[in-house]
Structure 1
């Protein structure tokens, strides 16, 4: 084994260390050898792709649903022997550095993402072939962010208009011989990763039971493979409000901080998308819990110091409760 190490690295273009459409991706492939090494082929590739895969039971058999889409694919030949396999190219002993540069296409592409049954990945791969039996490979992924401030594809106009608008919904539920009215309000639909959202709940309990509000962030991942679709949902419990006794009106406000590692909403990928909702439920003993869901769009936040607390909405500071 004359090749001791093979790895590929890239340079940063911003403080995030991310790349976007139109950026130049530069780096180097490094090979460490113990002596002169004959090479048949040596190349580096840059690739952006989306892929979904999941399995379903169909009677006694298992059906695999899969699909993929390529956003770009570039290859740079570092060394290639001229006689198709005689190993005429030589790499000297020691540490060898081979630079490369790729131009990322300036078109709409989704950000890097890993979900339950699919992912969007952008990667660099180097391969050095000494012979048909001796091939060295290395691969690294680089983080990619869409240029679109609102990556919502065909839904953009509808969603952008409502990002700054107040969201409100009411539900009336009948429990036994009484009813409970729940009114939920959020300041707006759009929220950055470095912000927090206030949710106000007004509960009029005219039933004979005590009810307790609970606050959730609902995540919905949708994956599509050709004509098939599958959905993965996940509810994150943010907190629980105070119990509301019978014949009581209670107003509660909770500030929900969005986890900074939570991926932003995106709908600009034909094979997968990610959406969110704010859900408020009323915990009813021995009964079905009434619930209200309001749309929430999580937008990409700006880089902030790790210790900085999420911004709180001024609008909700003035509410009672």
Structure 2
């Protein structure tokens, strides 16, 4: 499990160190490099080279682009903390050669923009999900993929950009968007059922990883917002907030503990122990898609199923 090493601000500063490596890698490679395949993109006989800053976005690119894309997910290790991710020259090269990029924005993956600016490409298609959704920089919760309306918008934008790169397969990409949207119906139905079965169910969290999902399901998060953001940004919560958080378990005010499995430190581990001591079921959530064996849809369905098991049956699902 990952341990926070620096705040988002320090990580962004560290990202500047890779710019020289980006320029070097860009100078030694073709910015439109792609991978050989059976499918063709624009008649080139090669796949469209695509990158998802987080592997959940890479998965959606793959579902929409299918046989005509070669996709890399940059942040994909479930045992690391994405907030402290540092790009290296290999990552810089991968990003600089991509023809299509999907990144989250809201300061979550600023290293991507630095690489893109350093390498430069007039033909590169970049989808910044924050901008796609029209969200301000001040948006407090960057974990946009847990919001049920996010990925349908992303899938459509991916299809549009792939069609710009490869117009001959536009209908193929659009058909895959329809399939993708249809495949999300089970997740949306599960959220609706969860909201109906346990309206306003109280939970505690370590940070706002799954808060958008909790909101959609009508679940009430009793953890102080300041506590969540402090943990998210790698700073120490106030003693008052820590005491409030602990009381949620010792006084049995919550029905479940939604725990970020990709970030552990002495505080979060002590809370995990406290929840277990007080028979509060634990639901593990992730910032990047657990691999192998998951798609974005099956991952989201698994998280709702875990919440249902915790709220309805007192079952813990600390890991997927």
Q: Which has the higher strand share?
A: 1
Tell me the TM-score normalized by structure 1: 0.27
Tell me the TM-score normalized by structure 2: 0.27
Q: Which has the higher helix share?
A: 2
Greater relative contact order structure (CA < 8 Å, 6+ sep): 2
